[in-house]
């Protein structure tokens, strides 16, 4: 550039270089922000402040009285080879699941194995992972995938479900769910710094890689609960626990409802728990349904901003501002 300037214009040359540098930085920043908003950041380029991907989902209600009525699942965009699809984010699933209509893309079946759902065991077919991406993130091809019939779930939700993104997605990643903004952020565990993520709670990870909160107080009892973002309800209790607590009057307002699971439509009893406590947060009159397992579903999780760090065995909670009907109350742990 300097060779086109008069010999006495060095100051102008330096100034021009500085201006171009500033403009270049501004352009790069704008391009980065655009890529971040669209979930297009390339894999492997996160920092403690910048996620490797962000995904938008429908924000959740800010009124605690409506959360249980209007909760919904988190859908993420993905591709199977060159085929685009929509995936449910489900921390309660031990495998990634693809709808059976995608089976021709998967090659030879590895095996057929028993699998658990929220109500009854089923048999599923297992395949080597295809070229599967969620947004810009490649799914580890060493992780097998399960094929199952998801048409009934698509019908119940009123939209196509191409697959389920299970707990293997949590490995080596930190996931933050911002239910106010409707944003899911993904950061590499190695790059993550807890900072102001919220109140930390200890997680237990079982042999299938599923995250559990081992110390949840229901009434006066301490129980372990699976963290299940694939369940729209607030809380479920195993049948034996449900019956016992109902007989003790801890669960009241009993009724029956219908729900969809991986095995189809089921009828389940439900009621309300007077008090449930996670760490310092105490909640009252929470709806609970009968199921095969004790689980905390997305309706309950959406009372907080949630950060899952399975690698370090921690879940962080920050209560959302739910207005006049706030029901998340910090209590003393002394």
Q: What is the CA radius of gyration of the chain?
A: 23
Same domain (yes/no): 250, 132: no
Q: What is the pLDDT of residue 259?
A: 62
Same domain (yes/no): 58, 166: yes
Question: How many domains, the chain?
Answer: 2
Question: What average pLDDT values come out for the chain (334 residues) when binned by 10 residues?
Answer: 39 41 45 44 44 87 59 91 95 94 90 69 84 93 90 90 95 94 92 84 94 94 96 92 93 80 69 93 92 93 94 94 53 43
Q: What is the pLDDT of residue 68?
A: 60
Same domain (yes/no): 163, 235: no
Same domain (yes/no): 325, 206: yes
Same domain (yes/no): 149, 206: no
Residue 149 domain-assigned? Answer: yes
Residue 76 domain-assigned? Answer: yes
* Domain boundary pick from 170, 188, 212: 170
Q: What is the pLDDT of residue 205?
A: 96
Sign of the torsion formed by the C-alpha atoms of 239, 244, 250 and 251: positive
Residue 268 domain-assigned? Answer: yes
Domain of 296? Answer: 196-330
Q: What is the pLDDT of residue 333?
A: 42
Same domain (yes/no): 200, 324: yes
Contacts of 18 (CB under 8 A, 6+ apart): none
Kind of pairing between the strands at 211-218 and 264-278: antiparallel
* Domain boundary pick from 152, 170, 188: 170
Q: What is the pLDDT of residue 58?
A: 86
CA 55 to each of CA 65, 77, 135, 218, 228: distance values in angstroms, whole numbers, following the listed order: 26, 8, 8, 33, 19
Residue 313 domain-assigned? Answer: yes
Q: Work out the end-to-end distance of the chain between its first and last CA atoms, rounded to an integer number of angstroms.
A: 69
Same domain (yes/no): 149, 205: no
CATH of the domain at 111: 2.40.70.10
Residue 13 domain-assigned? Answer: no
Same domain (yes/no): 60, 110: yes
Q: What is the pLDDT of residue 217?
A: 95
Residue 131 domain-assigned? Answer: yes
Residue 212 domain-assigned? Answer: yes
pTM: 0.79
Same domain (yes/no): 218, 277: yes
């Amino acid at each position: 550039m300097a060779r086109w300037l008069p010999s006495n214009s060095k100051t102008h040359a330096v100034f021009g270089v500085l201006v171009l540098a500033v403009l270049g930085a501004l352009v790069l920043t704008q391009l980065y922000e655009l890529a971040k908003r669209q979930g297009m950041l390339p894999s492997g380029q996160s920092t403690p402040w910048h996620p490797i991907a962000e995904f938008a989902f429908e924000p959740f209600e800010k009124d605690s009285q409506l959360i249980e009525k209007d909760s919904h699942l988190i859908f993420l965009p993905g591709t199977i080879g060159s085929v685009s699809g929509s995936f449910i984010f489900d921390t309660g699933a031990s495998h990634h699941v693809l709808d059976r209509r995608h089976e021709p893309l998967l090659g030879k079946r590895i095996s057929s194995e028993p699998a658990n759902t929220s109500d009854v065991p089923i048999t599923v077919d297992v395949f080597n992972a295809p070229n599967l991406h969620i947004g810009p993130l490649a799914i580890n091809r060493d992780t097998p995938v399960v094929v199952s019939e998801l048409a009934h779930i698509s019908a119940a939700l009123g939209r196509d479900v191409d697959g389920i993104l299970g707990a293997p997605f949590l490995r080596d990643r930190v996931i933050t769910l911002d239910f106010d903004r409707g944003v899911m952020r993904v950061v590499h565990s190695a790059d993550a710094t807890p900072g102001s993520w919220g109140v930390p709670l200890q997680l237990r990870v079982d042999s299938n890689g599923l995250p559990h909160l081992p110390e949840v107080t229901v009434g006066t009892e301490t129980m372990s609960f699976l963290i299940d973002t694939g369940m729209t309800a607030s809380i479920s209790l195993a049948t034996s626990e449900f019956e016992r607590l109902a007989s003790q009057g801890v669960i009241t307002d009993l009724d029956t409802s219908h729900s969809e699971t991986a095995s189809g439509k089921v009828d389940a009893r439900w009621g309300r728990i007077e008090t449930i406590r996670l760490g310092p947060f105490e909640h009252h009159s929470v709806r609970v349904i009968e199921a095969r397992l004790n689980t905390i579903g997305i309706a309950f999780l959406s009372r907080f901003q949630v950060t899952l760090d399975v690698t370090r065995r921690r879940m962080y909670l920050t209560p959302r501002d739910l207005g006049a009907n706030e029901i998340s109350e910090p209590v003393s742990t002394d």
